[in-house]
Amino acid sequence: MAEPDRSSAVRVALLYPELLGTYGDRGNARVLVQRLAWRGVPAELVEAPWGEPAPASCDIYVLGGGEDSPQASAAAALIAEGVVNRAVDDGAAVLGVCAGFQILGHSFFGPGGAARPGLGLLDCTTARRASPRIVGEILVEPNPEVGLPALSGYENHAGLTDLGPRAVPLGRVDVGVGNGDGTEGALEGRVVGTYLHGPVLARNPALADLILSWFVGELEPLDDSEITDLREERRQYVAAEQARRSVRRWRRYRRRRMSSTARPRAANFSV
């Protein structure tokens, strides 16, 4: 499947940024293109505005996060056009983040809570809802099957996603919620879904290079020292946050015990 000797530019389509671009996820498309440009591999970013035909014959399609109503509009347009499904049949890759991840599955929540059909490119369904909404830093331990280092990001979603047998998760959640059952994200063929913003490829260059390698073969390493520093800073922040939380939990527990049993009654005191 890999095409290491291709002469044409790798084309990265940013789909409907007006609908699926609330959380800076357009950065994923920039990261993909830039990481090829740094290596002297020709690459092209194709912006696909909503209301115009989605570009066919792109190599990688990127879908970001968005609100309920725009998410439903994007799914409806993509199903009507069928461009992305046909491209995947021909070997294209897709990265869907958050709302973009959900619409790659079989179904997701539409505005008002009714189930809407997705593109069926990932064997997964988003039919459960978390309350309150899940918002915060997320750290994911890698799935050895996928071969990526730990994933770092920020999640902000209400929908929870259940994977079917054809999709493998990107990893297990160390801190955060992800899919909702301890796993995070999904991979099936060349279709990737994740709840991680940040944007995900900015914080996780190995995932960007994995996707790119499907089209240009093995890639030479880049100087990612600033990204490594950022990943380490986020990892430490999350660890410190976890520690603070467990101290708070312990204090709450002690207070409860004190108030129920250990605290002497006022009547026992004589001052």
CA separation for the pair 99, 261 (Å, rounded): 48
Give the nearer residue to other proteins in terms of CB position, either 90 or 220. Answer: 220
Rounded to a whole number of angstroms, the minimum distance from the CB of residue 162 to other proteins is: 23
Residue in 51, 82, 164, 217 binding other proteins, rule: CB under 8 A: 51
Q: Which two tokens stand for residue 70?
A: 């725009």
Please list the active-site residues.
98, 197
Q: Based on the shown chain and the rule CB under 8 A, indicate whether residue 72 belongs to the binding site for other proteins.
A: yes
Task: Kindly identify the residues of this chain, within the stretch 83-142, that bind other proteins according to CB under 8 A.
Answer: 111, 133, 135-137
Give the nearer residue to other proteins in terms of CB position, either 21 or 180. Answer: 21
Task: Kindly identify the residues of this chain, within the stretch 146-165, that bind other proteins according to CB under 8 A.
Answer: 154, 156
Rounded to a whole number of angstroms, the minimum distance from the CB of residue 164 to other proteins is: 29
Give the nearer residue to other proteins in terms of CB position, either 185 or 199. Answer: 199
How many residues bind other proteins, per CB under 8 A?
38
Span from 2-10, 17-25, 40-48, 100-108 in contact with other proteins (CB under 8 A): 17-25
Closest CA to 26 of 11, 42, 13: 13
Contacts of 244 (CB under 8 A, 6+ apart): none
Q: Based on the shown chain and the rule CB under 8 A, indicate whether residue 30 belongs to the binding site for other proteins.
A: yes
CA separation for the pair 72, 70 (Å, rounded): 5
Q: Based on the shown chain and the rule CB under 8 A, indicate whether residue 81 belongs to the binding site for other proteins.
A: no
Q: Based on the shown chain and the rule CB under 8 A, indicate whether residue 27 belongs to the binding site for other proteins.
A: yes
Q: Based on the shown chain and the rule CB under 8 A, indicate whether residue 178 belongs to the binding site for other proteins.
A: no
Residue in 6, 34, 41, 120 binding other proteins, rule: CB under 8 A: 34
Rounded to a whole number of angstroms, the minimum distance from the CB of residue 28 to other proteins is: 8
Give the nearer residue to other proteins in terms of CB position, either 106 or 203. Answer: 203
CA separation for the pair 110, 39 (Å, rounded): 41
Please report which helix (H) or strand (E) contains residue 124, including its range: strand 124-142
Task: Check: CB of residue 124 under 8 Å from CB of residue 161.
Answer: yes
User: Which amino acid belongs to residue 186?
Assistant: A
Residue in 5, 218, 220, 226 binding other proteins, rule: CB under 8 A: 226
Q: SS in 3 state form for 224-248?
A: CHHHHHHHHHHHHHHHHHHHHHHHH
CA separation for the pair 115, 125 (Å, rounded): 10
The residue whose two tokens read 């990001």 is 153
Question: Considering just the CA atoms, what is the radius of gyration of the chain in Å?
Answer: 22
CA separation for the pair 21, 209 (Å, rounded): 22
Residue in 12, 17, 75, 211 binding other proteins, rule: CB under 8 A: 17
CA separation for the pair 47, 20 (Å, rounded): 12
Residues near other proteins (CB under 8 A) are 17-19, 21-27, 30-31, 34, 50-51, 67-70, 72-73, 111, 133, 135-137, 154, 156, 197-199, 202-203, 226-227, 229-230, 233
